[in-house]
Structure formats: structure tokens, C-alpha cells
């Protein structure tokens, strides 16, 4: 059984993951409206992954006999800046997700909850990948600078995300 503290924080994580999906979907909409389909597709895929992460927590809480308590999700921004600014925000957000996962893991360690530690290991590894991918796109955008041709190339590369 999950401790009350870990259960509460995992419920908060469901909210946070769903907010992440909303945020990335809002960013995707911004890029769609600006006719940058590759950026839009990359962020829409990211939004889908965040929803899947929320469902993993949802299922795990139930598997451990806990109670899922869904919370209101904050409205994400609807206007964004340049691609480089957006991906700076993506990286910043992913770092905040990593901090939340680390918090959950530290609670599981404190609780001697080995099952939750094992469950959270997947998210620890996932966050390394998420930060790496966001950093990679951000670095490409920084190298591109104001080159529209480079942005078109990056857009094309991001469109191939499966």
C-alpha cells in the first residue's frame, strides 16, 4: 500500500503530467497556426506521451490499492514567441518534471517502498531522454539563429518523429 504522502504526490503528478500534455498541445497549436507542421507534430507527440505518463500513474495508484483523486488542470498559455523561446520553455518544463519525479522517488526511498522505487525507475530514465531530446532541438534552434532555411530543415527533421 502507498503511504498517504506518496499517494498524494502521485495524484499531484497525474495533474502535472496532464498539464504538461495541455502545455505541449498549446505549443503544437501555435506551430500549426504558423504553418510549422514538423514542430507541431513533435509537440503533439510529446503531449500524447505526457497523457500516457498520467495514465501510468493512474493505473499504478489503483494497483497499489490507492485512490485516484483528479484535480483541476491549469489553462496553459495560448501565445508563444519564437521557436527557440518555445523550446527553452520545453526544456525548462522537462527539468521541472524531472524534479517532480525525483521528489516522488525520494518519498518512496524514505517509505522503504521498493515497488514504487521500481515503478519510478522507468520515469527517471524517461526524464533523461526527455531532457536530452529537448536540449537537442534547442541547440539546433540556437545554431540556426535567424536562418529561415535552417528552420525549414529542423521542421522537416521534427516531422519525422514517429
Residue 143: CB atoms within 10 A of its CB come to: 11
Give the pLDDT of residue 49: 97
Q: What is the spatial distance between Cα 128 and Cα 104, in angstroms, rounded to a whole number? A: 16
User: What is the percent of the chain where pLDDT is above 70?
Assistant: 99
Answer for the pair 135, 14: CB distance below 8 angstroms, yes or no: no
Q: Domain total for the chain?
A: 1
CATH code (residue 15): 1.20.1260.10
Cα separation of 138 and 120, whole Å?
A: 27
pLDDT tens profile 2-13: 999 999 999 999
Show Cβ contacts of residue 140 under 8 Å, excluding neighbours closer than 6 positions: 150, 154, 157
User: Is the pLDDT score of 162 beyond 70?
Assistant: no
Phi, psi angles (nearest 5°) of residue 115: -65, -45
pLDDT digits (tens, 9 = 90+) for 45-76: 999 999 999 999 999 999 999 999 999 999 99
Q: Which residue range is the domain that position 153 belongs to?
A: 4-159
Residue 161: band (very low, low, confident or very high) from pLDDT cuts 50, 70, 90: confident
Amino acid at each position: 500500500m502507498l503511504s498517504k504522502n506518496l499517494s498524494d504526490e502521485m495524484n499531484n503528478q497525474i495533474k502535472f503530467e496532464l498539464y504538461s500534455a495541455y502545455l505541449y498541445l498549446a505549443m503544437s497549436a501555435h506551430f500549426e497556426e504558423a504553418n510549422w507542421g514538423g514542430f507541431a507534430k513533435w509537440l503533439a507527440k510529446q503531449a500524447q506521451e505526457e497523457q500516457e505518463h498520467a495514465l501510468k500513474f493512474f493505473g499504478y495508484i489503483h494497483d497499489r490499492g490507492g485512490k485516484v483523486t483528479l484535480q483541476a488542470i491549469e489553462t496553459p498559455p495560448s501565445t508563444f514567441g519564437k521557436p527557440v523561446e518555445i523550446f527553452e520553455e520545453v526544456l525548462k518544463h522537462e527539468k521541472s518534471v524531472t524534479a517532480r519525479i525525483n521528489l516522488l522517488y525520494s518519498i518512496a526511498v524514505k517509505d522503504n517502498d521498493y515497488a514504487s522505487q521500481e515503478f519510478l525507475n522507468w520515469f527517471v530514465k524517461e526524464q533523461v531522454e526527455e531532457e536530452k531530446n529537448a536540449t537537442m532541438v534547442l541547440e539546433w534552434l540556437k545554431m540556426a539563429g535567424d536562418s529561415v532555411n535552417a528552420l525549414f530543415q529542423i521542421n522537416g527533421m521534427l516531422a519525422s518523429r514517429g
